[in-house]
Structure 1
Amino acid sequence: MSKYAQAAVETVRKNQGKSSLDMRQEWDKTMMEYYPTKKPSREKGCPRNAFLGLSEAGLIMGIPTGDYGVKPGNVNKRYAVDAVALLQAGSEPDKKQLWAAVTDANKKPNHQMDIVLALLHEGMLNI
């Protein structure tokens, strides 16, 4: 499991069932623990927006929906949300197949599906 996937799972564990959360702030706190001296890794947008997009869409159990700062139309949010929709429809949880289904063939992944699948395997997705 990638560090970004681990961070997503840990962020959810720390915050499930709490109200009035700012999940962007909670993600940033967790990323500081995982990458204390690597600011570019902490601020990587692809995994952050995938995680926050799932949060905004209400797809993570125990995390309230809300506006967590992901810009409308963000592709990383769309990739993650579309992957969850495929899983809800009965698709097999295979990272490469999910990625191919939600993107064009030329796009390289950047931990988006790692986050989706880590949350799925931990039973944290609303599926």
Structure 2
Amino acid sequence: MNKYGVVATKAVYLIMNEEQTEPLTAWNTAASDVFGEGTWAQRKGCPKNAFLGLCEEGLVRGIPKGNYTYRSESLNKAYALEAVELLKVSPLLANDRNGLWKEVMKGVKKSHNSQMDVVLALWNNNLIVLE
């Protein structure tokens, strides 16, 4: 699991353990712990917005559905949601980050920006709600 996956899972556990109550605050706390306060990696938006998008839809265990993203962040949310749907149909993609990204992008050539690391960390740690 890469560092953004660690941040995502740590953020969930911060909420589950009631150390934080909001997904954004939990993400920022976890990212500061992993990357250091104020660093570029701590502020990186794509993985954070993928995480918040999943939370917003009620797909992250222990986090209620709510409004956690801004309209401008909808692409990363959409990527994460599509990845979850693909994993439900093809769970073997959980072992192939690049293959999952390729499926999400449907042939569009674009580099992922750690969104799949977030999705896969949550998926592989049974933190995605499948119902």
Does the TM-score normalized on the shorter chain lie above 0.5?
yes
Counterparts of 1:40-51 in structure 2, within 5 Å, are 40-51=40-51
Contact 2:15 2:22 in 1 (8 A): no
State which drifts further: 62-71 or 115-124: 62-71
Matched, 1:111 2:114: yes
Q: Quick one: higher RCO (CA 8 Å, sep 6+), 1 or 2?
A: 1
RMSD: 2.0
Letter in 2 for 1:119: L
Find the counterpart in structure 2 of residue 54 from structure 1. Answer: 54
Q: Secondary structure at the match of 2:79?
A: helix
Contact 1:49 1:76 in 2 (8 A): yes
Q: Displacement of 1:26 after TM fit?
A: 1.3
| CA displacement, residues 11-47 of structure 1 (integer Å, 9 cap, x when unaligned) | 11121275x9321111111111112255211110110
- Classify 1:72/1:57 alpha carbon distance in 2 versus 1 (closer, same or farther; 3 Å): farther
Alpha-carbon distance in structure 1 between the residues aligned to 2:62 and 2:72: 23
Find the counterpart in structure 2 of residue 23 from structure 1. Answer: 23
- After TM superposition, which residue ranges in structure 1, 4 or more long, deviate above 4 angstroms? none
Find the counterpart in structure 1 of residue 101 from structure 2. Answer: 99
Query: Identity over aligned residues, as a percent?
Result: 36
Letter in 2 for 1:96: N
Unpaired runs of 5+ in structure 1?
none
Contact 1:4 1:47 in 2 (8 A): yes
- Classify 1:16/1:70 alpha carbon distance in 2 versus 1 (closer, same or farther; 3 Å): farther
Question: Would you tell me which structure has more helix in proportion to its own residues?
Answer: 2
Alpha-carbon distance in structure 1 between the residues aligned to 2:49 and 2:73: 11
| CA displacement, residues 57-101 of structure 1 (integer Å, 9 cap, x when unaligned) | 111111111111332662111001110011122342221221011
> How does the TM-score come out when normalised to structure 2?
0.86
User: Between Structure 1 and Structure 2, how many residues are aligned?
Assistant: 126
State which drifts further: 108-117 or 81-90: 81-90
Letter in 1 for 2:97: K
> How does the TM-score come out when normalised to structure 1?
0.88
Matched, 1:70 2:73: no
Letter in 1 for 2:82: D
Letter in 2 for 1:7: V
Unpaired runs of 5+ in structure 2?
none
